Amino acid sequence: MSNAHTLLPQPRLPGRYAIALVCLGNICRSPMADVVLVQRLDDAGLSGLVQVRSSGTGDWHVGNPMDDRAAATLTAAGYDATRHRARQFARSWLDELDLVLVMDGANLDDVGGRSERVMLFGEFDPVAPGTEVPDPYYGGPDGFEEVLQMVERTSVAITAALQRLMDRP
């Protein structure tokens, strides 16, 4: 996991960090990752220092709650999936965010490509670094479970890297 620490860009503002999680429609993968990462950050005492937002590259679902199957998967695992409302990624965010984590290569292309501050969420996956998070939308419940497992383990790695970056034990 020491590799994850070196991947994190420095914060634009000392003592604060802003992350966007991005998928296609902002109703499955990025909201699941948002809920899990926010919980991990809260547990680590970083909630006041790290801001997380999720969004989609498309506008089809703006204002809608997350997919029922994604919400059910999160709820069954003990997370609160009720607050999410889909929004669309804005390129202007690139100037204010410390890190943009996209779920797959198409999302990466949609936000303008890889840079120091834009990368795949899966680059922090401790089990399969660099893996894309598969879109479960057209599949069954197993796909949502797979996404949850990926975002849980990756959120642990991201949180640990942020703790080191922010000098928090």
Radius of gyration (C-alpha) of the chain in whole angstroms: 15
What does the pLDDT read at residue 167? 81
What does the pLDDT read at residue 112? 96
DSSP 8-state code for residue 54: E
What does the pLDDT read at residue 125? 96
Separation of alpha carbons 51 and 62, rounded Å? 20
- The pTM of this model reads 0.94
- What 3-state class would DSSP assign to 16? coil
CA-closest candidate to residue 24, choices 119, 144, 149, 137 = 137
What does the pLDDT read at residue 6? 52
Which residues are marked as active site? 23, 29, 135
What does the pLDDT read at residue 7? 79
CA-closest candidate to residue 80, choices 118, 31, 122 = 31
What does the pLDDT read at residue 5? 44
- Planar angle of CA 87, 90, 93, nearest 5 degrees: 115
Question: Both tokens of residue 164?
Answer: 């080191």
In tens digits, what is the pLDDT along the chain, a chain of 169 residues? 345 545 799 999 999 999 999 999 999 999 999 999 999 999 999 999 999 999 999 999 999 999 999 999 999 999 999 999 999 999 999 999 999 999 999 999 999 999 999 999 999 999 999 999 999 999 988 999 999 999 999 999 999 999 999 886 5
